[in-house]
Every structure is written in structure tokens, then in C-alpha cells.
Chains A and B, each alone.
Chain A
């Protein structure tokens, strides 16, 4: 066993790459859940983003445009969930599962002609000065644009939820939609916007898989990343910076175990792969037992304006 072959700087750099898709999806879902909506269709929205991003990038040779279109289309796609749950009052759990089903089917059909193709990928940014710092430069400042953008989104969400009026309204709607409604806030509209935001970031996350991390298109390529994103939101107890931390931990466990194996350590892979979920449960239990810091109170409950 020779752990000296593991380069910590490279390890952290590659765990950031590996974590970015789930980070993007999770930060969006965190906003959705903060507004009191549980959308289990993350996997479906991600894979739609993955295929749309890929198709656009291949046809236009512009990966950035691929990301933009992925966000837009997945945002629109999430509106199916939004309309069904918010206007037609359907059950959120079942509708979310349906969204995943439709997303997987739709993406596979759209992506057929693109299987086996290579896409243009995002170039790593060449950051002057910072990129040349030993160790840190390689670790933090040699990435592509989307990695920084994902961190930027986290910061924006944090700022939005904490310091803006709109963010306060969103949290109020998530905690008690009846009271929020009584105060004159447009519960449904707020939630629709949150769902759309969640769809857009999930789409970005999916596109990051097909355009940067893998990069190619294959049917079902998100392989459960959307479900991991759901776990991260809980792990993070719905706090933006903890979502970032959680995503890097979840991504990190995978990357770390692969690196340990490559370095020759024989490790029980199954136990390691279930550990993030067990930790998530523990975290959830701790925050719930402390009282009001747990899930948004209206999470998953239908809202109907009775007045």
C-alpha cells in the first residue's frame, strides 16, 4: 500500500469535479424544499438537462450555450411538476416520481442520434497569478467556469434566503403556507418560481455530467445522481453552505474510495458507499431533535387557498 501516490491537491480538485453535478441539483432542490415543495423528480430534470446540453453543444460547438439551454429546458420541464402540484393539486411525491419517469424516457428518445458522439467540453479557466500558486493553484484555480459558477449560485442562494425580502417570503411560504397566504403572499407563484429555479439548476447539473465530467451522452447516464442530491439537501439541513459542504463530502467519499483502491488499499466498498446515507440520517436526527431547525414545516403538504 502506498498512499504517497495520492496527491491531496489533485484529490480535492477531482472531488470538486465529481461533486458539482450533485451540488447544482441539490442547491436548487434546497430552494424548492425551502418553499415547502418536495420535488422527487430531480433525477428526471437532471437527465433532461444532460441530453439537452449535449445536443446543443454538439450542434453549435458551444458548450456554454449547451449549459444555458439545459437550464432553460429543464426549468420548463419542471413546470410540468409545478402545474400539476400547484394548480391541479396533485400529490407531490407521486408527481415527482412521474417526472423522473418521463425525464428518463424523454431524454433517451431525444438522445438516440447522439449516442457515441463526442462533445466539445469547457476549457479550464486560465486564471492569472492564482493558478500559479503551488498546490492551491492546481487544487482550486485550475477548473472550468461551471465549478466556480456552482459555488457562486450557492452564495447567491445564501444571500437571497438570508438577506432579501423575497427570500423571507419564500421561507415563510415554506414554513406556514396558510399564514403566508393570510399575509397576502402569493404562495403558488412563489412556489412555481422556486420549482423552476430547481429545475434550471438540476438541468445545469445534468449538463455538467454530459459536457464536462464524462463527457458524452448515454441513456440513463445520471445513474442516480438526482437521488443523491435529495439526500444532500437533508444532510445540509436546508442550508446553502452546508449543501456545498455536503455535496463535496458525498462526492469526496466516492473519489476517495476510488483513490484508496488505486493506491492498493483493500476496502469494503459497500460499507463505504452506504456511509453517506447513514450519516445523513444521523444528521437529520440531530437537527430534528433540536427542534425547529429541521425540515420546512409545510414540506410536501398541498396548499389550497380557502378564502
Chain B
């Protein structure tokens, strides 16, 4: 058996070498969750499949799922680089330091780290302006809530999540001065049972709109079970819950970015960049607004989407006060990216504190 396996192995490795020669560029993807989570990792993998489809034989992709953050991810990235990957996307915040470490060892390999802030000559960062989508959700939520209570399931109290809460809240208040946000932190990105419990708790306390910043579809199922509650797909379209409870969604559409960056490597024009794209360039998609939303609300939401996309409207446009009543943005002033990136405060009107 031993001899056989060596022979088979030798044949197989010739096969691999041939395949590697055929493709011009090899692109690796490191995922934190399973590709079947129908949320964060699922959408990154859709992006990978789009790359394969777009380039055909010219590009080969490899991926590894369920990679723990920390030392294990560093090894996975190194092995990808050793295996001949030219471009590696690392798709979780926790991969930031490992990405930088591995990038130092492989100056000729390009790295792209999602949602981080550390860059190098061969490390780009990219992230999506999810808060633009949150503004549209807030608008729909404010219009559609009858109890004036909107539930929000937060993962961790980090700027990205706080930003989303603020954006949704501002736009809900704008159309409905009586609206309140009930925020629950569950300290996990992915735990279907806990997400279901959180959604149930919110619904039982009278929330008839539930927004989530966690990755599973469990809150959607909880809302469907309760009835009369609307939700929004998060990260992925979560289309199986159409037309209600899921009335719209924020979709992370990484495909255009992944294709563009792969093309840049093919062309030899890749440089280290910091990308933070929103609805305009198509990195943030707004999933179909279903018939459960009244036509006029839908029209307003779509109008807002277009205004954000064209750059005419910034979701954080003053006057906006901080929670304590102090002025954050004067009338007409828009938030700068630096403040948004480190946002750790609520805007005026949200009850409770950001947990520290």
C-alpha cells in the first residue's frame, strides 16, 4: 500500500503541477466560517466563484474554511503562499496581524485583508460601507413599525456595528420621531440558537422590526414563527425568507472587487490600496424590497439608495448630535471617514450605553 501510495502520489503531483501551469494566476481565500453559513463567509465564497467564472482557465482559486484566527491562520496563509498563490484574500478582522506577518515573508505575494486597518506594500485592505445599507433599512423600519420599537441584535460593540446602529437609528427617527431602538449584544457572530433567543426576546417585548448584525438566518426564522415582524437579510440576501419576514437585505457583494483585484494582478498593475466602497461601486447591494413594503415606502427607499449611490447623499449628514446632546455634525456637515472608522458612541436619542 505504501509503495502504491507513493506512485499514485507521484502521478497526482504531476497532475497538480500541470494544472498550476495552466493558470496564470492563483488566488487564495481564507475564511473564518463554513462556506455554507449563508452569511459572511458564504458571500466571500460567492465572490470567489465569480472570479473563477469570470476568468475561466486563466485563474485558479483555492480556499480554506473554518480557519481559526491567530496562529493557525498564519500557517494557512503561509501554506497558500508556498503553494504558489499570487493573491490571497483574508476575510476576517482577526486575520489582520497574521496577514501582515505572512506578507513580510512573501514580498512577491499580494495580500488583501478585509475590514482591517493595517497595510503594507503588498497588503491592501478593503471593506464595505455597510452603514449605507443600514440607512435604507432604518428608513423602512421607521416607516413600517407599528409599535415604534425596533429591535437590533448586535454581535460585538465594535465601531462597525455601532456605526450601523447609528445609521439605522438616524434614518428611522427622521421618518418616525417616536421610534425607539432596543439593542441586544450577544457577543458572537454566529450562534443560531442564541440569535434566535435574542430575536424572540426582542419580539416578545414588542419589537415588530428586527435588525441583525450577526450572520445566521435564525432571527429570520424566529420572526417568521412569531408573525407580524419584519427583518432584513444580513451579509447575504437570505432570500428563503421572502416576502416576509425578510423585506429587504444588505448583501456584501465582493465579486466586483475580487474580479478587479485579480485582473490587476494579471495585468501587473496591483498596488497596495485602502478600499472602502459602498452602494455606488456595488460592494454593498440592497436585496429586493418585497411586496410587504408599501409602494411609497419602497420608492423612498430606492430613491435614497440612488442618492447614496450617486454620492448626493451621505447617511451621516448633520445636524447630528451625540448621545449626550453635544454637537457632532453641524447642519450640512458630513462625517469624515476617520471618525466613522473609530465610532464608539451613540447618536442622540438612542438609549443605553455602548458596552465598554
Direct contact of A and B (CB under 8 A): yes
B216 within 8 A of A: yes
Q: In the complex, which residues 167-223 of chain B have their Cβ closer than 8 Å to any Cβ of chain A?
A: 182-188, 190-194, 196-198, 200-202, 204-207, 216-218, 221
Q: How far is the CB of A238 from chain B (nearest CB, A)?
A: 25
Extra contacts besides A218-B37, A262-B184 (18): CB < 8 Å: A6-B204, A18-B197, A21-B193, A118-B221, A121-B225, A214-B196, A215-B221, A218-B36, A218-B192, A219-B36, A221-B193, A223-B191, A223-B193, A261-B184, A262-B201, A263-B182, A266-B355, A269-B187
Nearest Cβ on chain A to B203's Cβ, whole angstroms:
9
Q: Does A225 contact B (CB under 8 A)?
A: yes
Q: Name the distance in Å between B57's Cβ and chain A's nearest Cβ.
A: 27
Contacts of B336 in A (CB 8 A): none
Sample (21) of A-B pairs whose CB atoms are under 8 Å apart: A7-B205, A108-B34, A116-B217, A117-B240, A118-B221, A214-B196, A214-B216, A214-B221, A215-B221, A216-B217, A220-B34, A223-B191, A225-B193, A258-B197, A258-B198, A258-B201, A262-B201, A264-B182, A266-B355, A269-B185, A269-B355
Q: Which residues of A contact B338 (CB under 8 A)?
A: none
A residues lining the B interface (CB < 8 Å) = 5-7, 10-11, 14, 17-18, 21, 108, 112, 115-118, 121, 209, 213-216, 218-223, 225, 254-255, 258-259, 261-264, 266, 269-270
Residue among A10, A112, A262, A263 with the highest chain B CB neighbour number at 10 A: A262
Is A213 in contact with B196, judged by CB distance below 8 angstroms?
Answer: yes
Q: Is B278 an interface residue (CB 8 A)?
A: no
Residues of B contacting A219 with CB < 8 Å?
34, 36-37
* A224 to chain B: closest residue by CB: B191
Please report B residues at the A interface, Cβ cutoff 8 Å.
34, 36-38, 151, 182-188, 190-194, 196-198, 200-202, 204-207, 216-218, 221, 225, 240, 351-353, 355
- Nearest B residue to A267, CB-CB: B355
Contact indicator B204/A11 (Cβ below 8 Å): yes
A258 adjacent to B186 (CB under 8 Å): yes
CA distance A269 to B38 in the complex (A): 27
User: Could you tell me the distance between the alpha carbons of A223 and B33 in the complex, rounded to whole angstroms?
Assistant: 13
- Could you tell me if A266 and B204 are in contact, using CB atoms closer than 8 angstroms? no
Q: Which residue of the partner chain, among A14, A115, A221, A258, contacts B184 with CB atoms under 8 Å?
A: A258
- In the complex, A254→B206 CA distance in Å? 19
Q: Which of B183, B188, B201 has the most CB of A within 10 A?
A: B201
Give chain B residues whose Cβ lies under 8 Å from the Cβ of A261.
183-185, 201
Q: Which residue of A lies closest to B188 (CB)?
A: A223
Q: Is the CB of B36 within 8 A of A255?
A: no
B262 to chain A, nearest CB (A): 27
Task: Indicate which residue in B193, B205, B355 contacts A262 across the interface (CB closer than 8 Å).
Answer: B205
A209 to B92, CA, bound (A): 27
Residue with the highest number of chain A CB atoms closer than 10 Å, among B36, B151, B205, B352 = B205
Kindly list chain B residues whose C-beta atoms are within 8 Å of the C-beta of A259.
201, 204-205
Closest-by-CB residue of A relative to B181 is A264
A115 touches B38 (CB 8 A): yes
Q: How far is the CB of A139 from chain B (nearest CB, A)?
A: 12
A5: nearest residue on chain B (CB-CB)?
A: B205
> Which chain B residues lie closer than 8 Å to A117 at the CB level?
240
By a CB distance below 8 angstroms, the chain B residues around A214 are: 192-193, 196, 216, 218, 221
Closest chain-A Cβ to B195's Cβ sits at a distance in Å of 8
Whose C-beta in chain B lies nearest to the C-beta of A124? Answer: B225
Query: Which partner residue on chain B sits nearest A263 by CB separation?
Result: B205
Q: Which residues of B have CB within 8 Å of A218? A: 34, 36-38, 190, 192, 216
Across-interface contacts of A222 in B (CB, < 8 A): 193
| Cross-chain contact A7 with B196 (CB below 8 angstroms) | no
Residues in B neighbouring A6, C-beta threshold 8 A:
204-205
CB of A14 within 8 A of CB of B200, answer yes
**Across-interface contacts of A263 in B (CB, < 8 A):** 182, 205
A218 to B221, CA, bound (A): 13
Please report the C-alpha to C-alpha distance between residue A264 and residue B185 in the assembled complex, in whole angstroms: 11
Nearest-CB residue, chain B, relative to A21: B193
Complex contacts, B206 vs chain A, CB 8 Å: 5
CA distance A116 to B190 in the complex (A): 14
CA distance A22 to B188 in the complex (A): 20
Asked whether, in the complex, the Cβ of A7 is within 8 Å of the Cβ of B182, the reply is no
- Residues on A with C-beta less than 8 A from B204 are 6-7, 10-11, 14, 259
Chain A residues in 8 Å Cβ range of B216 = 214, 216, 218
| Nearest-Cβ distance from residue B132 to partner chain A, whole angstroms | 26
Q: Chain A's nearest CB lies how many Å from the CB of B157?
A: 10
- Indicate whether A213 sits within 8 Å of B193 (C-beta atoms), given known contacts A121-B225, A262-B202: yes
When A116-B36, A266-B355 are in contact, do A14 and B193 touch as well, CB less than 8 Å?
A: no
In the bound assembly, the distance between CA atoms of A270 and B188 in angstroms comes to: 12
